Amino acid sequence: MSAVAEVAARAAGPTEVLIHSIAGLLAGSRHVAVGASSPIPGAAALYTRAVSEGATRVSVLGSRRHNAFTNGGVELFDLAAQGRIDAFFLGGGQIDGAANINLVGVGSYPQMEVRWPGSFGSAYLYYLVPRVILFREEHTRRVFVPKVDFVSAPGPRDDGIYRPGGPHALITSLCLFDFDRARKRFVLRSVHPGHTVEEVRDNTGFDFDCPAQVPATPAPDAAALALIRGQVREEIGETYPKFAAQLAAV
């Protein structure tokens, strides 16, 4: 067996499908930034960099090796406002069908029933980064709600606000949605291997557009798996050692 075939002998796990799919969404980016607590997006960005032959720059917050910023935390936000960050990731404890996201909590603010960390840079970056990829592994009606309890960052609206940025796609443990900014709706693009459109529908609390035929999300091939299990795992392990250890154990 060749070295690549040997490393890739195990079939792609769900995390590897996610990394590979997110990397597909980043293709062509000049500069991808990755925020806090984002191991899978970080791995995807490092994958994109590895296959871009130097065309894609990656800045992983919290990393010392994969982050060239020398002006402190404010540098990311300054770059974003200048249009010098092409892609960024945001999560959400709740996300609704208009792509509003909530990183603050469940219930009425401020004494919420469940409190999450807080809005981070979302209230700003969602407006300014052209390709914001929403990433949330848990695909349940608890997360994908009809309407968020707190708007950390609003989806696109016709309000005349300066907004060169916004949501580009939403990826979960079940599927990949595109976001149609003109119609302000999610459109199901593909369902991950082993899952169905019905499962997506049953676990999504908002309406979305669904074509008659929904393809399966492509799984990474042997070369892609070898890259994820080798260089990418090693690079992301600097910032997320626990994650890298889990990735190795998949």
Q: Which residues would be at the binding site for another protein (CB under 8 A)? A: 36-37, 61-62, 64, 69-75, 77, 81, 103-105, 109-113, 115-128, 150-154, 157, 159-162, 240, 242-243
Give the residue with the Cβ less far from another protein, 2 or 111.
Answer: 111
Residue number with CB closer to another protein (176 or 244):
244
Structure tokens that stand for 159 in this block: 């309000």
Q: Pick between residue 153 and residue 188 the one whose CB is nearest to another protein.
A: 153
- In contact, 208 and 187? CB cutoff 8 Å: yes
- As measured in angstroms, the least distance from the Cβ of 170 to another protein is 19
CB 212, min distance to another protein, A: 35
Q: How far is the CB of 116 from another protein (least distance, A)?
A: 7
8 A C-beta contact, residue 88 and residue 133: yes
Q: Nearest distance from residue 239's CB to another protein, in Å?
A: 9
* Shorter beta-carbon distance to another protein: residue 36 or 51: 36
Backbone phi, then psi, for 235, in 5-degree steps?
A: -70, -40
* Nearest distance, CB of residue 17 and another protein, angstroms: 22
